[in-house]
Amino acid sequence: MKIHEIPAKVTVVWDPELKVIFDVWSDFRVTTEEFKTAVLTKGLAFAKENGGWAYVVDASKAKGVFNPEIQKIIETQVFKNFAAAGVKRFLTIPSASAETNASIAVFTAHASPAGVQGAQFPNRAAAIAWLRDNR
């Protein structure tokens, strides 16, 4: 179920069976406000209200990198807020772009210190299989 979209950048999807948010990215070059709306205002809020326990960033078709201000928000707010809301797992699906994957590595490093378990999967099917087995 789509809960938010920034056309040509990201679609935020709720999986009611798994109780998981999927951010399906096509372009990490978003404004800080677009990022905050998609991730914190829409995605995380929806997960919190509906018992979400995992958040998946599907960057398989993504390009670009998050700007430094967004990276700082991820470092200081996102994972801390995930943990406080009950989101204990953060999964990523890498991009074909080395530049985008470098950006993912930078922000993923902040998950574990905030109490959120991170994991990377080669594709969405593998991530879903893991989510089903690790509820």
Among 25, 31, 1, 21, CA closest to 11:
25
Rounded to 5 degrees, φ, ψ at 73 are -65, -40
Beta-carbon neighbour count of residue 84 at 10 Å? 12
Q: Which pTM was predicted?
A: 0.95
The whole-number average pLDDT for the span 6-29 is 98
Among 66, 17, 26, CA closest to 5:
26
pLDDT in tens, 98-133: 999 999 999 999 999 999 999 999 999 999 999 999
The per-residue pLDDT for 74 is 96
Q: What domains does the chain contain, in order, with CATH numbers?
A: 2-133 (3.30.750.24)
User: Rounded CA gap, 88 and 14, in Å?
Assistant: 16
pLDDT band at 135 (very low <50, low <70, confident <90, very high): confident
**3 state SS of 38:** helix
User: Rounded CA gap, 91 and 76, in Å?
Assistant: 19
* The two structure tokens encoding residue 68: 């430094």
Q: What is the DSSP string of 91-113?
A: EEE--S-HHHHHHHHHHHTTTGG
pLDDT in tens, 26-78: 999 999 999 999 999 999 999 999 999 999 999 999 999 999 999 999 999 99
